[in-house]
Every structure is written in C-alpha cells, then in structure tokens.
Structure 1
Amino acid sequence: MDVLIALGTTVAFLYSIFLGWEWFATGQQGMPDLYFEAAAVIITLVVLGKLFEVRAKGRTSQAIEKLLGLQAKTARIIRDGEEMEVAIEEVLVGDVVMVRPGEKVPVDGKIHDGQSAVDESMITGESIPIDKKQGDEIIGSTINKNGLLQIEATKVGKDTALSQIVKVVEEAQGTKPDVQRMADKVSGIFVPIVVLIAIASFLIWYFVIEPGDLRSALVPLITVLVIACPCALGLATSTSIMAGTGRSAENGVLFKGGEHLENTRGINTIVLDKTGTVTKGEPALTNVVVAPDFNEETVLAIAGAVEKNSEHPLAEAIVKGIEEKGTS
C-alpha cells in the first residue's frame, strides 16, 4: 500500500513540475492541468489516518496504564526479622508481606498468618469479599478489608495476575484479525498487478493510442496508481482493532486477540455467570420481608444498629437501604 502511495504521489508531483516547466519555457497560453493538489490531498489523508492510528494507540496505552495503576506502589515486608517498606519492584519471592485493613495486596501469594475478607472485584467482578485464612491463595492488587494479613509472596513483577492481564491486552493489540490478514495477502498480490497495469497503460497510450505523446501517456499511469491505492482498508482495520481492544480494556473486558474481537459480530446470545456483571456491581437493599409478629420499622432499626459498624458490603447495603427508607 505504501508503494502505491509513494509511486502515485511522486509521479503526479513530478509530472506537474514537468508541465509547469514546459508551460513556462514555451510561453503557452492558458494554465495546464497540474496535479500538485492531488498529491497533497493523498498525503494529507494518509497522514491523517496515521494520526488516528496513533491516537487509538494512545488510548490503548492509557488503558494499560490504568490497569498498572491498580497495583500497589510499595509493600511492607518482614526481612531478617525487621519490618520495612520497599518499592514493589524490590519484593522477592518468599518475602513475607504485611497487609493492613484497607490496603491493597502488593503481590500474588499465600496467606502466612491472619484471616480477613478480601475484595477481589477487580479480578473476578464479584462485589462480595471472599473470606481468606491461613494457607489460602491471594491475588495481588485486591483489597484487604478488615483483618491484618501476613502474605508469603509467590509471584512478583511480571508473574503476577495483574501483569499477566496487561500482557494479554498488549498482545491483543499486536495480533491481526482475519480481515487485516486478508488485506495484507490481497495487497501482496494487488500491488504488483496494479503497477503492471499502470505501466501497460503508459505503454499502450505512448505507442498505440497517442504515439510519442509523453504527456498524455503519463495521465493514465498516474490515474491507475493513485485510484488503486487500498490504504483506507489497511488503516481502518488496524485502527479499529487498536481502538476496540483499548476501549474494551477500559471497561474491564479483555480480548485475547484481534480475531476474537472480530468474532463478536456474530454473537446473538451472551451467558453470564454472575449478576454483578450486568448490574451495578454492588449489593443493595431492595425488599424487606418480616414475620407477622414483627414490625418492619423495629426490624430495620435493630438490623441497622447491628450492621452499622461493619465494613462488609452486605452490611453497608443494609445500612444504606435503611437510611434511604428514613429509619434510624
């Protein structure tokens, strides 16, 4: 595709210079048909397409940066019997990491001591924290809700689950969907054929249709080279994949390759394994059902008093729902 763009614009530009020089040298009446604007417009459109592609890549990079931003920047580790705070890059496999309530888990690991509820929604999409105890696996960048944990690091750096997710997103940007591979194959055959047709058109005009008229013979040559350029297809496919996978990553949807994104055009049914995926992603109090011998307001007041000091999402949902109902 770049060959056709370069040939078409260069020939059109040089041909216009030739016509302008000829007009100036011979003093002909009237301005000849020049093609400077055609070459300029083609180059402008190609550069504009490249700009869109770069902007799409920029949005993709921002999505990846947001994913990396979910990771903790420092970790509190116990090394040689001393507790110290180090950069996340300095944590080694086997280090014991201290994670206080409300903090992010710095690395993937196994709970060495302690128990707590861990919010894994950024990985699983489930809004309800998972109870974790000694010996349980824990994922980096998840949030420790209410207990002090000592975690033995088992995966650090590029081996963590979050880093693997980022790697999947980056690999998806580099893969070519079927339509782009097809465009590349077609271009590999199409470009030489177009060049041959352009040369044949020049020779036919120069030797058969208008013998010896170089000016008339160059017009069909330029026309074939410029019009046949399939640059729109090549630019559109790569840009759409970059923009699509980047935008998906921003919304928590990961595609393992461009071909999977392309295959979504044939989807007519989606099956989801959890309600949090299609709802607000957090629990809410919707209905209150009380036994015949109890009063709703009394039940809500008791439930609110019990759950008020809890950090559990269900407790927070109950308290919020009670407050919205005007019961304290």
Structure 2
Amino acid sequence: MKVFLEGLNCANCAGKIEKLVGKMPNVRAASLSLATGSLVIDEGEGFTQEETYDAIVKLVHSLEPHVVVSQSRKSTVGTDSCDCSGGQQNSQAVPEFGQALGDMDKRQKLELITAIGLFILGFVFQVMLPANLGMVTIGVFLAAYVLAGYRVIRLAFRNIGQGQIFDENFLMTIATFGALVLTEWPEAAGVMIFFGIGEYFQDRAVDNARRSIAETISFNAITANRVGPDGEMVIDAKQVKVGDVLVIKSGEKIPADGIVMEGVSHLDTSPLTGESYPRKVEKGDEILSGMINGNAVLKVLVTKDYENSTAMKIMHLIEEASDKKGKTEKFITRFSHYYTPIVVFSAIAMAIIPPLVIPGASWETWFYQSLIFLVVSCPCALVLSIPISYFGGIGRASKEGVLIKGGNYLDVLYQTNVFVFDKTGTLTQGEFKVIKTVPAAGFSEAELLAAAAAGEHYSNHPIGKAITVYAQAEVDETRLKNYAEIPGKGTRVEVDDQVILAGNKSLLLDHQISPAENNEAGTLVYITINNQLAGYLVLGDMVKENALATLQQLKRLGTKKTVMLSGDNVRVANQIGQQLQLDEVWGDCLPQDKVAAFEKIKADNKDGKTIFVGDGMNDAPVLAMADAGIAMGALGSDAAIEAADIILMKDDPMDIVKSVDIAKYTRRIMIQNIVLALGIKITVLTLTFFGMGEMYLAIFADVGAAILTILNTTRILGYRGFWQKVK
C-alpha cells in the first residue's frame, strides 16, 4: 500500500509518522520518503487497506494538520510546504509537478513581521524609556514572543498530550519558557522569532531543492494536440488514450508513445538519454514520450496512454527509487532517535549537576546553558539533507540517461570494486557479420547456407539474425517443423526429412558429433544435417568504441577487478579480453555456467560490492544474484527496465562510469553534510559547556545548519564529472 503526504517538509515529523505507522496493527513495516512525500506500507496478515488508510489520515493530521493525505498523487513529484509550527497551508489542493509552496500563508507572514517589529520596538523602549516604565518594554517583548511562538507552543502541548515529546516545538517551548523564568524577555522573543524565520527559509530551501530535482527529471508534456471529428483540439496530456491521433508541432514534447503516421522530423532524445544527438523519424517509426520534436510537424498514432508511456514510467521509477532508502539514510534515522533524547538528558544534567559539585556555580547560569543545549538538540539538518542528497543523486543520474532504482543502489555503486560484464551487446556491438563460410567435404556453400538459413530462421539472437541476412535464402515456413532453441548452444529444426542443427561446439557434442579442430579467429556456428557436419560459419563482432575507455575510467574510480563472461568460445573471449585489458575472462559459458562463475567471483570479493552488466533480458539469473544489476540500451524496453536495478537508456558503456562518479560525488556531499551539521552542533555545545554559548547561536546551530546542508545538497544537480570536462 502506498500513501502520499503532500506538504511534509518536517524531518522530525516524517520520522514520527514512519515509526507510528510501522507500529499499526497488521503492518510489518513502513517507509516514508521525505524527498517525495510517499509512504510505503508493508502489509501483514489481516491487513485492511481502508481501516489503515483512515488511521494514517488521523495520525498525520494529529501531527501535521496542513498535510494533504491521498492514495493517488495528482503530480508525480509534487512539492509543498510543511510548517512545523502548526500553520495550515494550502490544504485545498495537491500541487502540480515541481510547484513550490514554501511560503507561509498571509496571516503567518503578517504575524511574524509584526513580531519582528515589536521585537525591534522593545529594544528601542529598553534604551529610551525610564526604568519606571520597564513593564511597557516587557509587555512589548512578550507580545512579540506570543505572536511569533503561539503556534509552536500550541503544537508542543498537543503533541505532549499524544505522547510525542522531543520534537522541535517541545524543545523551543521549554527553552523559551526557561528564558522567561530567568526574565530574559528579549531572548525568549528572539528565539521564537529567529526560529520562525529559520523555519521559513528552511522550508524554502527544501522546496527549491525538490523543485530543482523535479525540473531535472521532468520528461512529461503538459498538453497534447488531438485530432478529432471537429479538427485539432488542445487537451490535457493526461487525457491521451490508445488509438488517439496527435499532431506534434515543432519544439513540442511528445506526450505519449506512438507510431509516426505522417511527416519526417528529427527528435531530441536528451530528456530520456542525456544526449541531444538528433534522431531521424519518418512514417512507420516508433517514437517515445518525453522526446522533443524538431522543426517539422508529425502526425502520430498513440500506442500507449499517458500513464503507461515511457516518460511516465521513468518518472514513476525515479519517484519510487526514493522509497528504497540508502544505508546512510537508515543510519541517520536510527541515530536521530537516540541523539535528541541524549542531548535533552544532558541538558537536564547540565542544569543540575554543576551547581551541586562546582563551588560558587550559579544555578541561573547553568540553567541558561542547559536551555541552549535543548535548542541545539534537534537533528533536522541531518535528517533533511540525507534523503534529499539521495534523491538529488538519482535525479542527476537521470539527466545523463541513467535510471537508478533506489538510494540503496547509489550506495552499491560507490562501494563496488568488481564489475562483471556480459560480452555480446555490452562490451561488443552485438552486430555480428559473417566473415567466412567453410563447407565440409561433400557439401557446397549453397547447401551450407540453405541449411543455416533454415536453422536460424526463427532465431532472435544477433548471431541468428546475422546468418539469415548473409544467407539471403528463401525459406518455406510450411516445411519447417519442431523448431527449438537450446539455451546457450543453438537451434534445432526439422525440414522435410532432414534434422538441422545450428550452434556451437557444445551442441554438436550433445549429439555425438565431433567437429574438426580449427584456429579460426571469430565466433563459430556449426551446421549439421542428419547428424552429419555440413560445415561452419565464422562471424565477427566489433568492440564498442567506448568499451576500453570505460574499463580504464572504472579503474581510475577505484574498481579493482573487471571480468567478462561470454558464451562465445574461449579463444574469441580471450582475444577480446586482451583487447580490452580485462583482468579475468570466462568463455564457453552456458547460462548455468555464468551463474556458477558469478557466484565464485562474488564470493571471492570480500572487500566490496559486485555489479553485473548485461542487456537486462537474457541475464536475469545473474542480475538477480548481483549486488546491483545494470541493463544497457534499455530505452523502450519494458523488460530491461523491470529486470535491472540500474538502467542505462543508451547503449553506451561510458554511462556506467557516469553513474559510479555521480554516486561517489553524492556520497561526498552526504559526508560533507554530516560533518557540517554535527560540526556546527558540537561546536555550539562545546562553547555552551564552557559558558560561551548564546541562544541565538543555538538557533543557528539548529535551523542555520539545516539550511546550509540543504543548499550544499543542491550542488549535486549541477555536478560536472570529469567525463564532461573532457568533452
């Protein structure tokens, strides 16, 4: 079950909701992504969706009344504002994709501005009014305090009544009540005012980060031009259905997948692939949503509706990726559960112990220092910045045509030190060509090619297709019977009274046929007729242009070992391995051999993670075993998108380097955020312990640190890797 919480910006609130939903009856676990506001519930036995949903709505509104709860999102990655001080904002509508709602409502803004004015006026009165009018000054500061803080105080007491302590509202309320007890009127008012200002800017920073990410991954069209009985009509792209005829004008995004009916144009594929190289399309060609039409008009027949189109699938995939939390995010969530209570109890100890054990120590001084400890204790900077960092990394990768299905796979990418590659279509082009035919004694080349064409007639393998193209033989399908593909070996078919085998040496040995030894440099396909060798064909496959550079750059990024698994013969596999400077090569691998080889490689790699790179369709068992599976050239392939954990929309191995580099940069940003947030807090706590702390400094350590880490996180979206700098 999935529920969407629009308007949730408060990290502390998100942690509470996730924890409490996870404890609901018949719920195994709950995971809430602060980056996208999606709550995923793992259903247990006896789970009732309607009752659980109602309970979630009640829970969320008890903590955050303004948050909009729904079971379907009107926008894919919308943004909204969360007012931790209990303000009601924009509860009437769910925002459209990428729309920022970080502003307070007019009433809250007016209250905060008025409080600031009263705060300044209080200082003026403090200087100008005589001592006997001191109560006027106190009244002005108290008015500023109430205006700026009544929402915080109200929410704090409401949460206490529900058993929810240790949130920002509670901490700010206790700290400012303490300041009032000490008759520190300006400080009490100042803390509430600066907290409100900080929350405002924090919400804006979160919204800006979300909006930037949303813009980065926004592939979808907003409107579409549908042709109907009354002519052309502009409609909402969400209304596009299968069978509709659309007119795509110059510069417009394609709203849904379809087939070109009329027109010739060039499409910009960069929104999906990261490359702006124009792709020519004409009548009969398939086009995908998210691409941008060039300088000509196209008429398109829709084959997939808006929600099931390629662009929407990719956007949903990116959004769902945030539900799979990375290791760092999980650690920070656990850390925050202990951090705040520890600091709170430390503050209590600081207020009580020093005056008891230190001669001459002032109760008032140490009580004030303990209040500063309370203000510093909220871990929002950490809890906010880490999930947004993961989501930013996923968004940045998508800009390069790399889809990463979760923050956990970003972790795998930066930890990987062994890459295992399939050969055909991954390191090589997968475009085989027949370079030689060798008929056996008693057979002509024409007979060899006719048998080969029949044997490979139904094959979809690149080798089979290359043979049928080369043979150029007419095959009468009515004469073909009992066609079968033998995985990893070849094909078998009956033609009239003949049994034809087309495949590798292993297929022949299974039928007790011994091929003559040869030293051919290439992929061999043997052809037999009624268990008699008719000859063989030699095929060649070219290494991809960027394959060697990719492997070299992976080594530069810290990869210790590169391995290739191939179903091709050992000689050809070793030849390509030497050409690409691979560390290890396995040839003559049947599907089960690849599984066994990968098991051994992964078991031997005790220092890091192991990734498998293939086509995403024919390597399912190995992809499932890997710490992460990468599918290449998956644009338009639903099967590849489903099978892999990381999807390269283009057929370019250099995108693997890009994904690793982005993952490592995202990791560096997260480390910076952790060091920055903890460094600021520890510094302020240390100064406070030695009597040099100030309440305003504590506010900066809380809200200021959160704003700084969020701003630092947005650097991920503008990251330029060395692969860009080389261009």
TM-score (normalised: structure 2):
0.29
Q: Secondary structure at the match of 2:232?
A: strand
Kept after mapping to 1: 8 A contact 2:267/2:281? no
The corresponding residue for 2:330 is 181
Measured at CA, do residues 232 and 265 of structure 1 come closer, stay the same or move farther in structure 2, by a change above 3 Å? same
Partner residue of 1:16 out of 179, 190, 205: 179
Measured at CA, do residues 193 and 95 of structure 1 come closer, stay the same or move farther in structure 2, by a change above 3 Å? same
Kept after mapping to 2: 8 A contact 1:114/1:147? no
Give a deviation string over 1:161-217, Cα, whole Å, max 9, x none. Answer: 12223333444456543222211111123333433444455454677778xx86366
Q: Equivalent residues in 2 for 1:161-172 (5 A)?
A: 161-172=310-321
Kept after mapping to 2: 8 A contact 1:12/1:222? yes
The corresponding residue for 1:58 is 211
Deviation at 1:104, TM superposition (A): 5.7
Deviation at 1:128, TM superposition (A): 5.0
Q: CA RMSD in A?
A: 4.7
The corresponding residue for 2:219 is 67
CA distance, structure 1, for counterparts of residue 251 and residue 352 of structure 2? 78
Deviation at 1:57, TM superposition (A): 1.8
Measured at CA, do residues 105 and 185 of structure 1 come closer, stay the same or move farther in structure 2, by a change above 3 Å? closer
Give a deviation string over 1:136-162, Cα, whole Å, max 9, x none. Answer: 533134456799865432212222112
Q: Equivalent residues in 2 for 1:281-292 (5 A)?
A: none
Partner residue of 1:77 out of 227, 233, 236: 227
The corresponding residue for 1:299 is none
The AA in structure 2 aligned to 1:240 is: S
2:195 equivalent to 1:43: yes
CA distance, structure 1, for counterparts of residue 394 and residue 245 of structure 2? 36
Measured at CA, do residues 120 and 196 of structure 1 come closer, stay the same or move farther in structure 2, by a change above 3 Å? same
More helix by percentage:
1
2:245 equivalent to 1:93: no
Measured at CA, do residues 223 and 142 of structure 1 come closer, stay the same or move farther in structure 2, by a change above 3 Å? closer
CA distance, structure 2, for counterparts of residue 217 and residue 143 of structure 1? 65
The AA in structure 1 aligned to 2:371 is: I
More strand by percentage:
2
Kept after mapping to 2: 8 A contact 1:4/1:226? no
Q: Equivalent residues in 2 for 1:238-249 (5 A)?
A: 238-246=387-395
The corresponding residue for 1:225 is 374
CA distance, structure 2, for counterparts of residue 188 and residue 262 of structure 1? 22
Measured at CA, do residues 40 and 193 of structure 1 come closer, stay the same or move farther in structure 2, by a change above 3 Å? same
The corresponding residue for 2:287 is 138
Q: Secondary structure at the match of 1:155?
A: coil
Deviation at 1:17, TM superposition (A): 1.9
Partner residue of 2:344 out of 169, 177, 195: 195
Give a deviation string over 1:58-91, Cα, whole Å, max 9, x none. Answer: 3223335x533xx373324255xx7533424443
Higher mean Cα deviation, 228-237 or 37-46? 37-46
Kept after mapping to 1: 8 A contact 2:402/2:655? no
The corresponding residue for 1:121 is 269
- Provide structure 2 residue ranges, at least 5 long, that are not aligned to the other structure: 1-10, 13-165, 417-552, 558-647, 657-727
The corresponding residue for 2:256 is 107
CA distance, structure 1, for counterparts of residue 205 and residue 411 of structure 2? 20
The corresponding residue for 1:287 is none
CA distance, structure 1, for counterparts of residue 176 and residue 251 of structure 2? 65
The AA in structure 2 aligned to 1:152 is: L
CA distance, structure 2, for counterparts of residue 72 and residue 185 of structure 1? 40
CA distance, structure 1, for counterparts of residue 344 and residue 385 of structure 2? 23
Q: Secondary structure at the match of 1:119?
A: strand
CA distance, structure 2, for counterparts of residue 83 and residue 52 of structure 1? 46
Deviation at 1:96, TM superposition (A): 3.6
Measured at CA, do residues 11 and 167 of structure 1 come closer, stay the same or move farther in structure 2, by a change above 3 Å? same
The corresponding residue for 2:705 is none
- Identity rate, percent: 25
CA distance, structure 1, for counterparts of residue 389 and residue 379 of structure 2? 16
CA distance, structure 1, for counterparts of residue 251 and residue 348 of structure 2? 71
Measured at CA, do residues 231 and 96 of structure 1 come closer, stay the same or move farther in structure 2, by a change above 3 Å? closer
Deviation at 1:99, TM superposition (A): 5.5
Measured at CA, do residues 130 and 188 of structure 1 come closer, stay the same or move farther in structure 2, by a change above 3 Å? same
TM-score (normalised: structure 1):
0.57
Measured at CA, do residues 259 and 42 of structure 1 come closer, stay the same or move farther in structure 2, by a change above 3 Å? farther
Measured at CA, do residues 78 and 231 of structure 1 come closer, stay the same or move farther in structure 2, by a change above 3 Å? closer
Q: Secondary structure at the match of 1:166?
A: helix
Measured at CA, do residues 247 and 209 of structure 1 come closer, stay the same or move farther in structure 2, by a change above 3 Å? same
CA distance, structure 2, for counterparts of residue 8 and residue 146 of structure 1? 60
CA distance, structure 1, for counterparts of residue 250 and residue 378 of structure 2? 61
Deviation at 1:234, TM superposition (A): 2.1
The corresponding residue for 2:564 is none
2:304 equivalent to 1:155: yes
Q: Secondary structure at the match of 2:225?
A: strand
Equivalent pairs, count: 260
Deviation at 1:219, TM superposition (A): 4.3
Give a deviation string over 1:192-250, Cα, whole Å, max 9, x none. Answer: 3433444455454677778xx86366346435434444333223324434554455556
CA distance, structure 2, for counterparts of residue 164 and residue 260 of structure 1? 19
Q: Secondary structure at the match of 2:405?
A: coil
Measured at CA, do residues 226 and 114 of structure 1 come closer, stay the same or move farther in structure 2, by a change above 3 Å? closer
